[in-house]
Amino acid sequence: MAGQHYGRRVMTPLDQELADYLALRRALGYRLVRPEKLLNQFLNYLQDVGANTVTVEAALDWARLPASGDTNWWAHRLSVVRGFATYLHALDPATEVPAADLLPHRPHRATPYLYSDDDVTALIAATASLRTPLRRATFATLIGLLSVTGMRVSEGIALDRGDIDLNAEHLLVRDTKFGKTRELVLHPSAIDALRHYLRLRDRLPSAKATPAVFVSTAGTRLIYCNVHWTFHRLVYLAGLTPRPAPCRPRIHDLRHSFAVRSMLDAYTAGQDGQARLTLLSTYLGHVSPASTYWYLSASPELMAVAGKRLEAHLAGRP
């Protein structure tokens, strides 16, 4: 396919503009691993077709590669170019910016499965079916930690021993999705669970060779796909079933559930919901509260509570 061969392109001013664009976005916390790869492919394509600026026609032609591709993938490719073109247009008005709706796409975000306390308890109880004491403890502790911190699964897997301070009762989440590090304060019960798990973990001689907190029976850091496979087995054993068709229990939904519980607790305590939302966004490691709001919008219970508070505010009631 045209535009896929790195290192063969003659450098042009667009290459420097791309470097500046990526540097600016990364300074705002974005990693942009895939966009960088795609935009380099796009610049290769422009050179192949003899174009020295971004046009809507060129962007569309490139975005619709391969011809047999999925329309959502085409729309994603065009959105990546659109971001870069918007930046370029501010520097050179001759740059054409593709409209946001040029290519149709189907939203495919899954509806979050909001776990109740009983659901989490059932998942942890299901770990008793796993084969070894270490494996049982590893998944029970990992699921428990994700449910009370709202960490991403990848962040839990990436935790090292040095990231946890049992005495100060906090942990550090390093180099996250947006390249940031954040500190999470833990409840004493979570600290007790981690302390118990680490004692068991340290009895495995092979585990001493890895800094990872959560380890496999071979003593190595857990692998993302294996965690998901085991979690799906635990979901089955716990008797958790899909609700509406697109709402299936996923391990990532422990994060959604934490966010919803945090906001419900704030409303129940009569706290300022907007202030809590801002704090929650930071705690979850989101770039902005807008991302956190999407987590919350899937909860009818939370939306009902928020609606009642709004009605009370408009009526002048406390």
Q: Three-class SS of residue 163?
A: helix
Strand order of the sheet with strand 164-165?
164-165, 170-173, 182-185
| Tokens matching residue 143 | 């699921």
Count other C-beta atoms under 10 Å from residue 297's C-beta: 13
Q: Which letter, b or e, does each residue of 152-180 get, where b requires 16 or more Cβ atoms within 10 Å of its Cβ?
A: bbebbbbbeeebbeeeeeebebeebeeee
Query: Going along 186-245, which residue ranges are E strands?
Result: none
Catalytic residue among 25, 76, 177, 221: 177
Catalytic residue among 233, 252, 276, 309: 252
Strand partners, 171: 164, 184
Q: Is 177 one of the annotated active-site residues of the chain?
A: yes
Q: Is 313 one of the annotated active-site residues of the chain?
A: no
| Integer CA distances (angstroms), 144 to 127, 175, 178, 183, 197, in order | 11, 22, 24, 18, 12
Catalytic residue among 82, 201, 256, 286: 286
Catalytic residue among 77, 82, 152, 256: 152
Catalytic residue among 77, 255, 256, 261: 255
Q: Is 252 one of the annotated active-site residues of the chain?
A: yes
| Integer CA distances (angstroms), 275 to 153, 278, 300, in order | 26, 5, 21
Strand partners, 172: 183
Q: Is 228 one of the annotated active-site residues of the chain?
A: no
Q: Is 286 one of the annotated active-site residues of the chain?
A: yes
Q: If 0-12 CB within 10 Å is exposed, 13-18 middle and 19+ buried, where does residue 221 land?
A: middle
Q: Is 255 one of the annotated active-site residues of the chain?
A: yes
Task: Catalogue the active-site residues.
Answer: 152, 177, 252, 255, 286, 295
